[in-house]
Structure 1
Amino acid sequence: MNITYEIIPTEKVESCRDLCNELMVFQKSKAYIKPELFDHMNFDTRMIPSINGAIHNFIVVVKDEDDIVGYVYSNISTKETYSNDFATFFDLSSVSGNNVGCLSQFYIKEGYRQYGVGSTLFNMSMEWLKQFDDVQDYFIFVSNGNDDALKFYKRKGFSVSHKILAGFITVLRNNEEHS
């Protein structure tokens, strides 16, 4: 294993297409509440609209030699971005500023988990998010059934705020006073 991390510009996001689609299949395989909602979620319906709707984007790919084996996508968006036809992800009035940070997508191929890759990606994302002085609220949305991800983010200091869509998604937040 020869693991490297590369921050890529949004113009190169196409390199995440297969892993993003793999993430949606993985989430569906774990889900016990409305797994069919994942049938219409893929790179084109999740990643591209999120990138286009964000103010700032941050994408890191993990490579083993030339193969991309994981990625993380974080963004800064207006809080209104998270109230749409699909769901209202949090109480907009609970956010102190106009913008929020979100660790939006996070996926590591099976054989590369448990080697610290996830912690490295998480730390890179948090460092990037924290450089925006006007953003104090960070969110992570975990699909139902993905208990390992939920435990991981709790270990990293996030706490469960609430659930949306009848438990389909658990909303985690960095700032415990909002829970």
Structure 2
Amino acid sequence: MNFTYEVIPVENMEDCRDLCNELMSFQKSKAYIAPERFDSMNFDTRMVPSVKKALHNYIVIVKDGDKTAGYVYSNVSPKETYSNEFATFFDLSSVSGSNVGCLSQFYIKEEYRKYGIGSVLFDMSMKWLHQFQDVDDYFIFVSNGNENALEFYKRKGFSVSHDILDGFITVLRSGRKVLISEKR
């Protein structure tokens, strides 16, 4: 396997369409609370609006030769972005600054899991997020049923903050202290 990690500009986010849609299908397959909510979630309803509302976006695609293996999408957004018609994701008054960092979407195709890709993508995202000195609060939102992702993020220094939408999403949180793995 020959993995390459390519940071792509927002103008090329269309390259993530299939991966994002696979992520939504994967999340639905794992969900035991309201899986039907995923029926309306796809690249156009999740990634596109998120990119448009964010102040800064970071997208990395992983390839194995010419095959796409996965991606990560992180952003820095005004904290008010996370209080909308869908849900209020966290107590806005608990965030010290006006912006938050979010590891928003993260997906690795099943056949590529267990090769360390997740740790590389996580580290790249955290390094990118840490460059914004005005951001002290980082969030990750994990859909119900995705226990592997939940445990992965906890091992990386995030803590469960609370659940929203009656357990549909678990909110993980960390401050600037999140450590970037030493292994690459």
What TM-score comes out, normalization by structure 2 length?
Answer: 0.95
Using the aligned pairs only, state the percent identity: 76
Q: How does 1:5-44 map to 2 (within 5 A)?
A: 5-44=5-44
Amino acid at match of 1:130: H
Deviations 1:6-26 (A, max 9, x none): 000001110110010000000
Q: Which residue of 1 aligns with 2:158?
A: 158
User: Following TM superposition, where does structure 1 have runs of at least 4 consecutive aligned residues deviating by more than 3 angstroms?
Assistant: none
Deviations 1:67-123 (A, max 9, x none): 211000000000000000000000000000000000000000001001100000000
Amino acid at match of 1:13: M
> 2: CA distance between counterparts of 1:74 and 1:66?
23
> 1: CA distance between counterparts of 2:129 and 2:155?
18
Q: How does 1:29-178 map to 2 (within 5 A)?
A: 29-175=29-175
SS of corresponding position for 1:174: strand
How many angstroms does 1:66 deviate by? Answer: 1.5
Amino acid at match of 2:133: D
> 2: CA distance between counterparts of 1:125 and 1:111?
22
How many angstroms does 1:175 deviate by? Answer: 3.3
**Unmatched 5+ residue regions in structure 2?**
177-184
Deviations 1:120-154 (A, max 9, x none): 00000000000000000000000000000000000
Amino acid at match of 2:28: K
**RMSD (Å), alpha carbons:** 0.9
> 2: CA distance between counterparts of 1:12 and 1:39?
25
> 2: CA distance between counterparts of 1:175 and 1:80?
18
Q: Which moved more, 1:138-147 or 1:61-70?
A: 61-70
| 1:4 and 2:4 correspond | yes
> 2: CA distance between counterparts of 1:153 and 1:2?
25
**Unmatched 5+ residue regions in structure 1?**
none
